[in-house]
Structure 1
């Protein structure tokens, strides 16, 4: 969008800034922010987005694997809910939007 860059650093720098406009706008407009951490917990963008959401006072739901509990303890502490499966996030959002708890069965 902003033109080619021969230096990889400046290419990534420009891309990160344009992506940040999109991400920041989305977080600011959101009532609830869901941040998913995948198999490798060293996902700096996800951690940054979670921090941004927390700093803006957004309701934060974190989705992460149990084995990443310790490395993500500060992120988890900032979240209002920590889920281990996508289904749990869906159930939380359904409850938030409708007030209905999941049916056990």
Structure 2
């Protein structure tokens, strides 16, 4: 059995690559998908497909509708969602993705540092599991195969 894992969360560091590498080292039968991690591609996709937009509002709106469709399709095809909240970057997309996963009844693991316990308490309460590190998230997934 192989599980598909959607990796929601910030795109400004290499946490996904770290998690994927650690999963390979553990020989876990996991396939990973994620939002578009190329920030420029994500921002430009609306105009790439629909053409130049009249202003920044419409440019962002076009890109977000296409990115939201991509996220919804990949998340619906996933078996599990890992949503990482970091200390450094704004977390709106992560919160939206985690909330969507929970609404879709997708098993959800939230990764968040201790400093975010209070602001994420309601979301953590709705998730299946909340951990502090990507290593702990992988241990939760590894337990499925035991």
- Alignment TM-score, normalising by the size of structure 1: 0.87
2:19 paired residue number: none
- Superposed structure 1 runs of 4+ greater than 6 Å apart: none
Distance in 1 (alpha carbons) for counterparts of 2:89 and 2:118: 10
Alignment of 1:59-98 (within 5 A): 59-96=107-144, 98=145
Among 50, 74, 83, the alignment partner of 1:2 is: 50
2:77 paired residue number: 29
Alignment of 1:46-65 (within 5 A): 46-65=94-113
For residues 27-70 of structure 1, the C-alpha deviation after alignment (integer angstroms, 9 at most, x for no partner) is 11111111111114741111111111111111000011110011
Distance in 2 (alpha carbons) for counterparts of 1:26 and 1:74: 25
Which ranges in structure 1 are unaligned for 5 or more consecutive residues? 100-105
2:59 paired residue number: 11
- Alignment TM-score, normalising by the size of structure 2: 0.64
CA RMSD of aligned residues (A): 1.3
TM-aligned CA deviation for residue 6 of structure 1? 3.5
More RCO (CA 8 Å, sep 6+):
2
Matched length: 98
